Structure formats: structure tokens, C-alpha cells
């Protein structure tokens, strides 16, 4: 048997096969099928199959996050249709308005485990690589087909190995590394590929930092992305599984109540699928963490990346901190550290939207929300916020926004004649204070 990549092992497992070759098309059975506000549209496709019941209710996870709470009657009708479907089909993994963004919520709820396959009607489903799962985005019709049959064709992708050695300097984050990689190789640099992250720089990262990398690989054209689960990963998941001990979760073959955290950790680690040392890679790229700096993706493509210094002084009218990419506690902490005791610049709106209710609660306890409010920021409901131009911070024509999100395409935030700059959370906060793009290290942040 030849040496296998993570993608080969994960898709072989999901297809119930011993091994699969790169390029082979397999019928895979995902462990989790994700959808969000698009669930009503998926239901209307699924109805064409004439089924009364979906075949995999226990594998379906649905969050309301993209336009929450409903900004218009039409959005409200959309949500109402989804709630009705959830009730009719007995779907337990349903998360209401305000719980948070799908990728963050499913992570916090430990619904996706190492080595598993999650397919979602959301391009950032690559996110789940942070815990060693195979996550890939699919279309609405494909989710409907999964509800009806439980399986979907997938091509086994080529893999790229990205190695980060060393430790990131202060003020340089996983977001900067992701932007640098996309800037170096282009928005199609990882097209169709599985991106495996390796190296001491990845191991040294916090889990919240790791989450940024597979998430951002959607902007690299990747099919999926992967980081090796370690003791930090399994501790996070095991603790959350124990919190749900009463839930009747039978994924481990016995009740969660009878398993200790350390037993759960061992089980989770045994589920990890590690690539073989001599697996076949289409490309290998090496980076030194110490050589990285803060980067900005300039309008209107994510690969239009420059060092922050090249655009320092650019005026913005709006700063947005949030999203599935950078709306976690660590991100809010970095931004709060910059803004504490300062004021948002005149002529700037600073919008802060925690990625989930868990993040919001922790940020309240830590005092970060108070820091933001005292500085003059606006706090939004956990969810996607203005990332995709539905509501809660749509820019006016001619305005520029600095954002911790993942996409800066023309019109992304709802207005084609506006500009979006992507950066790390601390840079977003520093820019909100200065009114112009600035390195937080230069204002003593």
C-alpha cells in the first residue's frame, strides 16, 4: 500500500474503502451535513424528491447565522420555514438566532470530530480542518441530495504541504500567515487541493489561531485543509463533550457520562488520520514564522496582499471585527488590548460582532465588551454580521472598511462602490482608533 495523504485516508474512511487513489471519484458518506439560512431553499429542492423524511436527521446540523435576527419580513419568513422543517424532521442539532456562526458553533458543540467528514452549504466549511476533520463546501442541491441519500460523489484531491517553522513575532497572527500564503501563491494557489499544515509554528499556535488557517483556505481555492489534532485539540473537544453528557450522544458507542475526559481524549486521538511521511504532494512550501509581518489584503481580491506598511495611512470610515475567521475570544482580546482607554476616531464606526454566544459571554466576563463600548464601538448580535452585505454595517458608496473577515470582493458587503481591506483583529482595532490603517505596535497597542 502506497503512502497516503490525509485527504486519501479521510475519503477512504468516508467511502468505506480500504484505500483510495488521488483523482479517484468516490461516493462518500459525511458524518455531518451543515446548512444555515439557506436551509429553506435546500428544503424546496429536497421536496422534489418526494420523500417524507430525510434519511439522515441525526447527521444534519443547522444554524441561523447569516442574517440574524431577521432584518426584513422576507428574511423572517425564510427563518420560519427553516424552524418548521427542523420540527417536522426531528433535527436536534439546530441552533437559533444569536447562538453564533455555524463553524464556530459546531466547533463549540463538538459536533465534528477528528478524521470525520463534514460537508456544508457554506464555502468556509474548510474550517473544520482545525480539529483534523475533512471539511468541504458544497452547493444547495448537493445538501438536498445528501438529506435524501446520505451520500455524495467527491474526487480525491491532490495535496499541498505548507510548513511553518518557528514562532510568530508579537503582533503577527495566523491571519497574517494566511494572507501571506494567499498573496504569494494567488487566490487559485490551492485550487482543488487539500492543504496540510505542518511544522512547529502550527503546533505552537493556540486553537483559536489554528482555526483561522483552514477557514481562510477557502480563499485559496482549496477543497479542504488540515491540521494535526494534538492534546490541546482533544482537551477542547473532550471538555465540551462532557458538558453534553446528558444529551444521549452515542457516537463513542457508550454514554458520555461513563467516559472520563482523559478517556475521551484518548478516543479522539485514536480517530485522528495522520498523513504518512512519504505521501504524495503536488507542492511543498516552507515558511519561517519570524520572517512574517502584518499584512493587508487590498481591494478587491483576497490575493492582493501587501505588507501593512505599504498602505499605512489609508483612511477608513468603518472597522469590522468579527466573522468565522476572526470573531473569537482571542481576537476580541487582541482588539480590546489595543482599544482599552482609547476612543474610536471621529468619522469611524467600529462594529464588533462576537462569533458566538459563548464568545460574547466570555468577552463580557473578561471586560472586553466594556472596553469596546467605552471606546465608542457598536456591539452586534453573534452571527455573520455585515460580512456578506445582508445587514448590520453596509458601507455607503465611496467608503472604505477595514475588516477581520475573509473576503473583500467588490460588492461583498452590499455596496459595489466601496472598498474592503482585510487584516488581523489588532490591526482592525488600531485602525478604528487612528481612522487610518496603522500597525498597532506603532501606537503602543
Partner 1 sequence: MRITGRAWKYGDNINTDVIFPGKYTYTVTEREEIARHALEDLDPTFAANVRPGDVVVGGRNFGCGSSREQAATCLVYNGVGAVIAVSFSRIFYRNALNNGLLVIACPAAVEAILPGEQVTVDTEQHVIRCTAGEFPFPPLSPSVMGIVEAGGLVEYVKRKLATP
Where along the sequence are the contacts to partner 1 (CB under 8 A)? 25, 37-38, 40-41, 45, 48-51, 66-67, 72, 74-75, 78, 120-123, 125, 137-142, 144-145, 148-149, 153, 186-188, 191-192, 219, 221, 223, 301, 303, 388-390, 394, 407, 409-412, 414, 416
Its sign, for the CA torsion 382, 386, 389, 392, is positive
Smaller CB distance to partner 1: residue 71 or 90? 71
**CB environment 85-94: b (16+ within 10 A), e (fewer):** bbeebebebb
Find the shortest distance in angstroms from Cβ 316 to partner 1.
Answer: 20
Find the shortest distance in angstroms from Cβ 387 to partner 1.
Answer: 8
Task: Please name the residue that has the C-alpha cell 417524507.
Answer: 52
Find the shortest distance in angstroms from Cβ 45 to partner 1.
Answer: 6
Smaller CB distance to partner 1: residue 74 or 243? 74
Find the shortest distance in angstroms from Cβ 286 to partner 1.
Answer: 24
Smaller CB distance to partner 1: residue 22 or 336? 22
Smaller CB distance to partner 1: residue 72 or 262? 72
Find the shortest distance in angstroms from Cβ 165 to partner 1.
Answer: 29
Find the shortest distance in angstroms from Cβ 98 to partner 1.
Answer: 17
Yes or no: say if 172 and 288 are a contact pair by the CB < 8 Å rule. no
Q: Which of 68, 28, 61, 67 is nearest to 42 (CA)?
A: 61
Smaller CB distance to partner 1: residue 41 or 292? 41
Q: Which of 353, 351, 371, 301 is nearest to 66 (CA)?
A: 353
Q: How many CA atoms lie within 13 A of 53 on its CB side?
A: 7
Find the shortest distance in angstroms from Cβ 251 to partner 1.
Answer: 26
Smaller CB distance to partner 1: residue 265 or 318? 318
Q: List all residues 6 or more positions away from 364 whose beta carbon is below 8 Å from its beta carbon.
A: 370
Q: What is the rounded CA–CA span in Å between residue 393 and residue 155?
A: 39
Find the shortest distance in angstroms from Cβ 121 to partner 1.
Answer: 6
Smaller CB distance to partner 1: residue 71 or 347? 71
Find the shortest distance in angstroms from Cβ 81 to partner 1.
Answer: 10
Q: Tell me whether the omega of the peptide bond preceding residue 390 falls within 30 degrees of 0, making it cis.
A: no
Pairing of strands 419-422, 400-403: parallel
- Grid cell at residue 94: 439546530
Smaller CB distance to partner 1: residue 168 or 387? 387
Smaller CB distance to partner 1: residue 39 or 265? 39
Smaller CB distance to partner 1: residue 347 or 411? 411
Find the shortest distance in angstroms from Cβ 229 to partner 1.
Answer: 25
Find the shortest distance in angstroms from Cβ 34 to partner 1.
Answer: 10
| Measured CA angle at 174 (ends 415, 442), to 5 deg | 80
Its sign, for the CA torsion 44, 49, 53, 58, is negative
Dihedral pair phi/psi, residue 93, rounded to 5°: -85, 70
Find the shortest distance in angstroms from Cβ 196 to partner 1.
Answer: 17
Smaller CB distance to partner 1: residue 89 or 304? 304
Smaller CB distance to partner 1: residue 12 or 426? 12
**Angle of the 231-243 helix axis to the 207-216 helix axis, nearest 10:** 100
Amino acid at each position: 500500500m502506497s503512502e497516503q495523504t490525509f485527504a486519501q485516508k479521510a475519503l477512504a474512511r468516508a467511502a468505506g474503502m480500504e484505500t483510495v487513489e488521488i483523482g479517484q471519484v468516490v461516493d462518500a458518506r459525511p458524518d455531518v451535513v451543515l446548512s444555515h439560512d439557506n436551509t429553506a431553499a435546500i428544503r424546496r429542492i429536497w421536496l422534489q424528491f418526494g420523500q417524507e423524511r430525510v434519511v439522515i436527521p441525526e447527521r444534519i446540523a443547522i444554524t441561523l447565522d447569516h442574517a440574524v435576527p431577521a432584518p426584513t419580513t422576507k428574511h423572517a419568513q425564510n427563518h420560519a420555514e427553516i424552524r418548521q422543517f427542523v420540527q417536522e424532521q426531528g433535527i436536534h442539532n439546530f441552533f437559533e438566532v444569536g447562538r453564533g456562526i455555524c463553524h464556530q458553533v459546531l466547533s463549540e458543540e463538538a459536533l465534528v470530530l477528528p478524521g470525520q467528514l463534514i460537508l456544508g452549504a457554506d464555502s468556509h466549511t474548510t474550517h473544520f480542518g482545525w480539529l483534523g476533520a475533512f471539511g468541504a463546501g458544497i452547493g444547495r442541491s448537493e445538501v438536498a441530495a445528501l438529506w435524501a441519500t446520505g451520500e455524495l460523489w467527491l474526487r480525491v484531491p491532490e495535496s499541498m504541504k505548507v510548513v511553518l517553522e518557528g514562532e510568530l513575532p508579537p503582533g503577527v497572527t495566523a491571519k497574517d500567515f494566511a494572507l501571506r500564503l494567499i498573496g504569494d501563491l494567488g487566490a487559485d494557489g490551492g485550487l482543488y487541493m487539500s492543504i496540510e499544515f505542518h511544522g512547529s509554528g502550527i503546533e505552537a499556535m493556540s486553537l483559536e489561531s489554528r482555526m483561522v488557517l483552514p477557514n481562510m483556505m477557502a480563499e485559496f481555492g482549496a477543497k479542504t485543509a488540515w491540521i494535526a489534532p494534538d492534546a490541546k485539540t482533544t482537551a477542547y473537544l473532550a471538555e465540551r463533550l462532557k458538558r453534553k453528557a446528558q444529551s444521549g450522544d452515542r457516537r463513542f458507542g457508550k454514554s458520555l457520562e461513563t467516559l472520563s475526559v482523559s478517556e475521551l481524549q484518548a478516543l479522539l486521538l485514536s480517530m485522528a488520520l495522520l498523513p504518512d511521511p512519504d505521501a504524495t504532494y503536488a507542492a511543498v512550501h516552507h515558511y519561517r514564522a519570524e520572517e512574517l509581518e502584518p499584512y493587508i489584503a487590498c481591494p478587491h481580491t483576497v490575493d492582493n496582499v501587501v505588507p501593512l506598511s505599504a498602505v499605512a495611512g489609508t483612511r477608513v470610515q468603518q472597522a469590522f471585527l468579527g466573522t468565522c475567521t476572526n470573531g473569537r475570544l482571542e481576537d476580541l482580546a487582541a482588539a480590546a488590548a489595543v482599544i482599552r482607554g482609547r476612543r474610536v476616531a471621529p468619522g469611524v464606526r467600529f462594529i464588533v460582532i462576537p462569533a458566538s454566544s459563548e464568545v460574547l459571554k466570555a468577552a463580557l466576563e473578561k471586560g472586553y465588551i466594556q472596553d469596546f463600548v467605552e471606546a465608542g464601538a457598536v456591539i452586534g448580535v453573534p452571527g455573520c454580521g455585515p460580512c456578506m452585505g445582508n445587514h448590520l454595517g453596509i458601507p455607503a458608496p465611496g467608503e472604505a472598511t477595514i475588516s477581520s473577515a475573509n473576503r473583500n470582493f467588490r460588492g461583498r458587503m452590499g455596496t459595489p462602490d466601496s472598498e474592503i481591506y482585510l487584516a488581523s483583529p489588532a490591526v482592525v482595532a488600531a485602525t478604528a482608533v487612528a481612522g487610518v490603517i496603522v500597525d498597532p505596535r506603532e501606537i503602543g497597542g
